Amino acid sequence: MSWRTASILCFSLLLAPQVVAQEARPATKSVLLLLPEDMALPAMTALVSSLRASLWESWGGQVSVDIESLDLGWFSGPEYERALLAWYLVKYRERQPDALITFRSDTIHLTLELRQKLWPDIPVIVLSEDERLWERQPRPERVVGQWLKYDMRATAELALRLMPDTRRLAFVNGSSPWEQAQQERMLRELRPLLEQRGLEFIDLSGLSLAEMLERVGTLPADTVVLTFTFIIDSTGRPFVPREVASMLLAASNRPCFTVHETVLGMGFVGGVLVSYEAVGQQLGMLTARMLRGEQVDFSAPLAPAPVDHVTVDARALRRWGITPDRVPPGVRLAFEEPSLWERYRLYVLGAITVSALQTLMAVVLMVERRRRIRVQAELNERHRLEKLAEIEVRRGLDQLAHVSRVAALGEMTSSLAHELNQPLAAILVNAQAVRRLLDATPMDLVEVREAIGDIISDDKRAGEVIRRMRTLLKKGQPQDDVLSLNDLVREVARLVANDMQLRGAELHMVLAPSRPAVRGDGIQLQQVMLNLLINALEATSGVPAGQRHIWVRTTSSSQEQVELSVQDSGAGIEPSHLPHVFEPFYSTKKEGLGMGLSISRSIVVAHGGQLWAESPPGQGALLRCVLPVAPSNASP
CA 333 to chain centroid, in Å, comes to 37
Alpha carbons 408 and 413: distance in angstroms, whole number: 9
Q: What is the pLDDT of residue 265?
A: 92
Q: Does residue 461 carry a pLDDT above 50? A: yes
Q: Does residue 432 carry a pLDDT above 80? A: no
Alpha carbons 25 and 50: distance in angstroms, whole number: 23
Going by the DSSP 8-state scheme, the letter that residue 260 receives in this structure is B
Alpha carbons 62 and 49: distance in angstroms, whole number: 14
| Residue 141, helix vs strand vs coil | coil
Low-confidence winner among 50-64, 230-244, 356-370, 437-451 (lowest mean pLDDT): 437-451
In terms of pLDDT, which residue wins out, 340 or 109?
109
Q: What is the pLDDT of residue 16?
A: 40
The answer to whether residues 406 and 531 touch, using CB atoms and an 8 Å cutoff, is: no
Q: What is the pLDDT of residue 583?
A: 79
CA distances from 451 to 6, 438, 446 (A): 160, 11, 9
Q: What is the pLDDT of residue 116?
A: 92
The answer to whether residues 571 and 538 touch, using CB atoms and an 8 Å cutoff, is: no
Question: What is the total residue count of the chain?
Answer: 636
The answer to whether residues 174 and 231 touch, using CB atoms and an 8 Å cutoff, is: yes
Q: What is the pLDDT of residue 8?
A: 35
Going by the DSSP 8-state scheme, the letter that residue 107 receives in this structure is G
Q: What is the pLDDT of residue 249?
A: 96
Alpha carbons 106 and 129: distance in angstroms, whole number: 10
**Run of H or E residues at 270:** strand 270-274
pTM for the model: 0.54
In tens, the pLDDT along 228-283 reads: 999 999 998 999 899 999 999 999 999 999 999 999 999 999 999 998 888 888 88
Going by the DSSP 8-state scheme, the letter that residue 567 receives in this structure is E
Helices 78-91, 108-118: inter-axial angle, 10-degree rounding: 40
In tens, the pLDDT along 380-392 reads: 888 888 777 766 6
Q: Does residue 141 carry a pLDDT above 90? A: no
The answer to whether residues 52 and 65 touch, using CB atoms and an 8 Å cutoff, is: yes
One-letter amino acid at 375 equals V
Alpha carbons 190 and 152: distance in angstroms, whole number: 7
Rg from Cα positions in the chain: 65
Q: What is the pLDDT of residue 307?
A: 61
Q: Does residue 21 carry a pLDDT above 60? A: no
What does 182-250 look like in DSSP terms, one character per residue?
HHHHHHHHHHHHHHHHT-EEEE--S--HHHHHHHHTT--TTEEEEE---SB-TT--B--HHHHHHHHHH
Q: What is the pLDDT of residue 407?
A: 57
CA 242 to chain centroid, in Å, comes to 51
Q: Calculate the average pLDDT of the chain.
A: 82
In tens, the pLDDT along 519-577 reads: 888 878 887 888 888 888 888 888 888 888 999 999 987 778 899 999 998 888 888 88
In terms of pLDDT, which residue wins out, 53 or 584?
53
In tens, the pLDDT along 169-188 reads: 999 999 988 899 899 999 99
Please name each of the domains of the chain with its CATH number.
Answer: 28-147 (3.40.50.2300), 152-276+297-342 (3.40.50.2300), 412-475 (1.10.287), 479-636 (3.30.565.10)
Alpha carbons 1 and 129: distance in angstroms, whole number: 71
In tens, the pLDDT along 601-623 reads: 888 888 889 999 888 888 888 98
